[in-house]
Structure 1
């Protein structure tokens, strides 16, 4: 009994030392990545754009000079016989076809755009990480049966990847009906195979690492190895992908709204809905489309710049 307890204590101690070394290595990796991000112009520019977007999204409804749904200047627009009011001192972005202030709608619409991007990305991340984690764990430590499970799951993911992302999103949105929730789910479904593939590939790469072999030699349970060692060390590329996916999610959500599959109530301001409405009046009022389009482009650029900077900061080949 004494020998058995001593052996157990040794195994636990060695496991703790192994985990401690990995934790230290992980901490130093993130510390070095943070240092590289602080010195990266690309990261600083992307972060500044995202910060500005977040500020506008949070305080937009309070700083908007007018109600985004109030048709305050409707009589003026109709009196001009369809001639749109361009930017002026009272209305910085001009008026839309119903006499609503475009600047106020732009500010308030930033929150809806952010909401769509974040929630759709979270849907793709959670579902994709769950599928990819199960597949990666089965392939790494599941033996022959696990590899068969991995093969079946990945063939399903391959089927999703074979479809163009926008076509898949349109198909999901068309089946579920027109609503803002539908847009979030449709865009999230498109991101699922990306996160699943990425996490699975990262876990397979980590599965052959020395610390995993050492943990298996010490007799640590496979489930514990996966949850405490492999998964935490496989999350870096997934986190980077989140920032890049946010950019594409905002663009794809805007595309669905442009195609008429977004919020059925056009009175609710959202950049994609505003862009969809503006297409009918582009010849007479191009600025109605320019402002939301520029907002979408710049916001997507900010997330893309930050994501690329994070990718470079976490790349072991680029660390000095």
Structure 2
């Protein structure tokens, strides 16, 4: 099975699992899902990790004991012949290769990392949802001409899904040039076909429901049916995917920064940039790499845990 087929089957499966609007007991989908989430240890752990990350990103610059770009201890680092100065009372995470406080840079870098992840996800979500709505509406209510439009759009998304996500992001970033905005756009472009195919599949599942047939029999305009009936009832899998995509966006943004395609100013703290800078000193100062690497992994894990818990909570086959 090809990589594109595997991606496509997973996306279609998520749309299928979350297409049902109400439970058999009549309780709303989201009320039942929230009840299941409250009892899920995976969801609680993920939510705690995400909450901690967001709090640090918001208040980190005020909590940082030193200016993240200040080379206050540069002389001490060079006096030690470039050896890593480890954790101590005045520097909880030690110093980097230029005598900057690592703890302060980690706190301030959290905001930059969160900004990149959220903006990238929103780019993919908005553009992907737009493509998905057009394709889903064309396939559901567009007749023969709509089917042809849907086929063209889906073949383009299949081509994008067939490409490794990091390779596609690197290609976009290389074309646009080195900058933080480039990283956001590149990672966002990677997410577009995922959201598009997911929303389109969910809309197809909703298109054959009785309420759609009733609306059409009453003579309601197709555009109104799509915007007020089908699309709102198709957003559940998209919301779940947005949570999962935040984890992917953070990792891919860090990877682009690691490859030197991120912020051209290395003094600005961002976890991916810090990881890239630390690779030169890994043999003598492994902790310079460990701090940003662990932060990226734990943060991505938090979003993944919450996203997977939401996926399970919205699965109609698991609800009693």
TM over 0.5: yes
Query: Alpha carbon RMSD of aligned pairs, Å?
Result: 1.4
Q: Which structure's relative contact order is higher, taking Cα pairs within 8 Å and 6+ residues apart?
A: 2
Please list the CA deviations of residues 86-140 of structure 1 after superposition, one character each: whole Å capped at 9, or x if unmatched.
Answer: 1111111110000000000000000000000000000000000000110000000
How far is the alpha carbon of 1:285 from its aligned partner?
0.4
How far, CA to CA, are the matches of 1:268 and 1:107 in structure 2? 12
2: distance between equivalents of 1:37 and 1:79?
A: 54
Q: 1:84, 1:286 → 2: CA distance?
A: 9
Q: Where does 1:42-57 land on structure 2 (aligned, <5 Å)? A: 42-57=42-57
In the alignment, the residues of structure 2 paired with residue 237 and residue 128 of structure 1 have an alpha-carbon distance, to the nearest angstrom, of 13
1:231 deviation in Å?
0.3
CA-to-aligned-CA distance 1:269-289 (integer Å, 9 cap, x gap): 000000000001101100000
Shift of 1:24: 11
Aligned-partner Cα distance in 2 for 1:308–1:253: 21
The equivalences for 1:216-295 within 5 A come to 216-295=216-295
Which of the pair is proportionally richer in helix?
1
Q: Match of 1:120?
A: 120
Post-superposition Cα deviations, 1:55-94, rounded to whole Å, max 9, x if no partner, equal: 0000000000100000000000001111110111111111
Q: CA deviation at 1:261?
A: 0.4
Matched residue SS, 1:266: coil
Shift of residue 27 of structure 1? 7.0
Unaligned runs of 5+ in 2: 1-20
After TM superposition, the score normalised by the length of structure 2 is: 0.91
Match of 2:66 in 1: 66
Q: How far, CA to CA, are the matches of 2:179 and 2:131 in structure 1?
A: 27
Shift of 1:23: 9.1
Q: Distance in 1 between matches of 2:280 and 2:265?
A: 16
1:223 Cα deviation (Å)? Answer: 1.0
Count of residues in correspondence between the two structures: 299
Q: 2:231 aligns to what SS in structure 1?
A: helix
Paired residues of 2:246 and 2:303 also in contact (CA < 8 A): yes
User: 2:101 aligns to what?
Assistant: 101
- Shift of residue 230 of structure 1? 0.6
Deviation at 1:197, TM superposition (A): 0.5
- 1:203-232 Cα deviation digits (max 9, x unpaired): 011111111112112221111111111101
Q: Which residue of 2 aligns with 1:302?
A: 302
Match of 2:13 in 1: none
Q: Secondary structure at the match of 1:123?
A: helix
| 1:198 and 2:188 are equivalent in the alignment | no
Larger radius of gyration: 1
CA distance in 2, matches of 1:82, 1:52: 33
TM-score (norm 1): 0.91
Mapped to 1, the partners of 2:289 and 2:40 lie a distance apart of 33
